[in-house]
Structure 1
């Protein structure tokens, strides 16, 4: 069994590690030779993909791929002319999902052994629900351009999968963190900020649980939409306070959201307030190793893996 991870970055490496432990041959794509060297250091076979075409090595590798994970985010779509009736990706345009554009209408011809596709999406597709709970059945109402594009791309991948007879699972991920990317690191660098916005909550997901959830769905060849997120949506400042407590340091001062200096992108994240349910994954029998931020932070601190 062979898995190919397109856009093998932070989450992709965790997915690769999980699949490798299950006996898969693992390959991943990056954009540059320098990144390829770094990927090889993680025992992942590196392949170059710049988003415009498949090179000879990548084309040959795709012939043996049984499981494909797409982690490359779509870019803004400008054109309305589609490259294929079943594709949401514009023709002759550098925008949209670069992989979907190349595989559209010929998925099985390029990947003849393909058995399952995982598409990494975001809970941002739900938009703002005033702090209320959302499930996979909640209609998408994204308020940000990058999330709107995710909805279209999810649908396009599902259509391609149906046409080729390959199950496609869309994993809607909440805020990703783990070793090397967490509140401890931000406190250590002096960049942690305790932004207070009344009643605001976020979900999050430990990167190792992304890897485990992807393998779980792949092993069962499941399709459809799945929220991959923790059990406990909470105010973001609570995570900072808990990390500071474990480190034995003072948390940064509280900053009011309305007056805090923030980039437009950082501020935009606070425009969507919701609680995301993971009950569908749990009902299938999946167990999250890190179901809440307290357990996760405690493990990273006690095992001294927070630096990555």
Structure 2
């Protein structure tokens, strides 16, 4: 199977390698020439693609003959005065249609769900209600793809990303007066995400929405204190004002469906 993977970064690169090891052909994109050699060294056919200024010829070749198109670019609202996130994806639609691709997978975020005390547990069936600008743009980006009838899009709403050298404790270490000490943690391990993507592609499960979050949901204070101690980092200090705003994102339905 030929796969075109837009965004060979922290998640996309090891995902591309996993597909290669599984016998697939992978075209991958980066945004800078310096990263091309990395893709070439791993057997990934490299493309330099900037969604703020798409080259039609490059995008046509990138998507040519692809059976699955995976979009794994970071869901950030706007960078360096570039286009808003939904507009970037809107610009992809003509090329997806032209290539005749019918299977699209988009890595989204659980930021599409607000912290709501009246909805203590969030699942795929929960109506998205983003309360941040980034969450609103991520949801709009989902809708750009889902509203196109020319192909079927599966959306993965990922929890906080961890794996390799990436962990939010590095950002929280040593900080004081952190809010919501008792709120549940909703993280998604990179290896688990990759397994989910592999199963979806192998079983051709497209046109669906999945929440992808680790099964465990420890309280923020206990979890991040423990993680800082493991790494020898300054301990984060949490406020004990009695307020707790948060949500528990339940991703067990997707893991059970995919036998993970």
**TM-score normalised according to structure 1 size:** 0.71
How large is the Cα RMSD of the aligned pairs? 3.0
Q: Once the two structures are superposed, what CA deviation does each residue of 1:133-191 show, in whole Å capped at 9, x if it has no partner?
A: 1111111111110111111111220121xx21x3210000001011111378x39xx95
Count of residues paired in the alignment: 251
Aligned partners of 1:147, 1:256: CA distance in 2, in Å?
25
Match of 2:27 in 1: 27
Question: Are 1:174 and 2:159 an aligned pair?
Answer: yes
Q: How many angstroms does 1:5 deviate by?
A: 1.4
Q: Once the two structures are superposed, what CA deviation does each residue of 1:95-141 show, in whole Å capped at 9, x if it has no partner?
A: 333553233355332x23x2411111001101112381111111111
Question: Are 1:281 and 2:217 an aligned pair?
Answer: no
Q: Once the two structures are superposed, what CA deviation does each residue of 1:25-69 show, in whole Å capped at 9, x if it has no partner?
A: 112111110122233344422210111113534422311111111
> Which 10-residue stretch deviates more, 67-76 or 197-206?
67-76
Q: How many angstroms does 1:285 deviate by?
A: 3.1
Aligned partners of 2:77, 2:8: CA distance in 1, in Å?
17
8 Å contact from structure 2 (residues 115, 245) kept in 1:
yes
Aligned partners of 2:157, 2:163: CA distance in 1, in Å?
17
Matches within 5 A, 1:85-234: 94-97=83-86, 99-105=88-94, 107-109=96-98, 111-112=99-100, 114-130=101-117, 132-160=120-148, 163-164=149-150, 166-182=151-167, 186=170, 191=173, 193=175, 195=178, 197-222=180-205, 223-234=207-218
Q: Once the two structures are superposed, what CA deviation does each residue of 1:213-272 show, in whole Å capped at 9, x if it has no partner?
A: 11111222222110011111222333334335555x4x634423489xxxxxxxxxx996
Tell me which of 223, 231, 238 is aligned to 1:256: 238
Structure 2 residue runs of 5 or longer lacking an equivalent are none
Relative to 1, partners in 2 of residues 1:272 and 1:22: Cα closer, same or farther, differing over 3 Å?
A: farther
Tell me, what secondary structure is at the counterpart of 2:211?
strand
8 Å contact from structure 1 (residues 27, 44) kept in 2:
yes
